[in-house]
Amino acid sequence: MTTTVYKVTGMTCGHCESAVTSELSALEGVTSVRAVAATGLVTVDSAAPLDEAAVRAAVDEAGYELAGPA
Protein backbone atom coordinates (compact mmCIF):
# COMPACT_ATOMS: atom_id res chain seq x y z
CA MET A 1 0.00 0.00 0.00
CA THR A 2 1.26 3.44 -0.97
CA THR A 3 -0.08 6.78 0.26
CA THR A 4 0.77 9.92 -1.71
CA VAL A 5 -0.36 13.49 -1.04
CA TYR A 6 -0.71 15.82 -4.03
CA LYS A 7 -1.28 19.57 -4.24
CA VAL A 8 -4.12 20.43 -6.61
CA THR A 9 -4.94 24.03 -7.52
CA GLY A 10 -8.38 25.36 -8.36
CA MET A 11 -10.55 23.34 -5.98
CA THR A 12 -12.96 25.58 -4.08
CA CYS A 13 -15.92 23.44 -2.97
CA GLY A 14 -17.40 20.02 -2.40
CA HIS A 15 -18.21 19.63 -6.09
CA CYS A 16 -14.53 20.20 -6.88
CA GLU A 17 -13.56 17.55 -4.34
CA SER A 18 -16.03 15.11 -5.89
CA ALA A 19 -14.78 15.71 -9.44
CA VAL A 20 -11.13 15.15 -8.47
CA THR A 21 -12.01 12.13 -6.33
CA SER A 22 -14.02 10.56 -9.14
CA GLU A 23 -11.27 10.93 -11.75
CA LEU A 24 -8.48 9.72 -9.47
CA SER A 25 -10.55 6.79 -8.18
CA ALA A 26 -10.79 5.51 -11.77
CA LEU A 27 -7.01 5.01 -11.98
CA GLU A 28 -5.87 1.40 -11.78
CA GLY A 29 -4.71 0.41 -8.31
CA VAL A 30 -6.29 3.35 -6.45
CA THR A 31 -8.05 2.19 -3.28
CA SER A 32 -9.12 5.54 -1.79
CA VAL A 33 -8.99 9.28 -2.46
CA ARG A 34 -9.50 12.14 0.00
CA ALA A 35 -9.65 15.62 -1.55
CA VAL A 36 -9.86 18.74 0.64
CA ALA A 37 -10.69 21.94 -1.22
CA ALA A 38 -9.76 24.18 1.71
CA THR A 39 -6.14 23.03 1.63
CA GLY A 40 -5.87 21.88 -1.99
CA LEU A 41 -4.46 18.58 -0.76
CA VAL A 42 -5.49 15.25 -2.23
CA THR A 43 -4.43 12.05 -0.45
CA VAL A 44 -4.39 8.96 -2.64
CA ASP A 45 -3.99 5.40 -1.35
CA SER A 46 -2.97 2.88 -3.98
CA ALA A 47 -1.72 -0.68 -4.27
CA ALA A 48 1.54 0.59 -5.83
CA PRO A 49 3.11 3.98 -6.61
CA LEU A 50 1.16 5.82 -9.30
CA ASP A 51 2.56 7.27 -12.49
CA GLU A 52 2.56 11.06 -11.99
CA ALA A 53 1.59 11.61 -15.65
CA ALA A 54 -1.54 9.50 -15.11
CA VAL A 55 -2.40 11.44 -11.95
CA ARG A 56 -1.82 14.74 -13.77
CA ALA A 57 -4.08 13.63 -16.66
CA ALA A 58 -6.86 12.59 -14.26
CA VAL A 59 -6.71 15.89 -12.36
CA ASP A 60 -6.68 17.77 -15.69
CA GLU A 61 -9.72 15.80 -16.86
CA ALA A 62 -11.54 16.91 -13.70
CA GLY A 63 -10.75 20.53 -14.64
CA TYR A 64 -7.99 21.29 -12.13
CA GLU A 65 -4.20 21.48 -12.09
CA LEU A 66 -1.78 19.18 -10.36
CA ALA A 67 0.90 21.31 -8.72
CA GLY A 68 2.88 18.19 -7.76
CA PRO A 69 3.45 16.10 -4.68
CA ALA A 70 2.74 17.99 -1.46
Domains annotated for the chain, with CATH where assigned, are 2-69 (3.30.70.100)
pLDDT at 13 over 90: yes
Band of residue 20 on the pLDDT scale cut at 50, 70, 90: very high
Are the beta carbons of 47 and 29 closer than 8 angstroms? yes
Query: Whole-model pTM?
Result: 0.94
pLDDT at 70 over 90: no
Query: What is the predicted pLDDT for the residue at 41?
Result: 98
Average pLDDT of the segment spanning 12-31: 98
E strands, the chain, in order: 2-9, 30-36, 41-46, 65-69
- Cβ contacts of 2 within 8 Å, gap of 6 or more: 45, 46, 47, 48, 49, 50
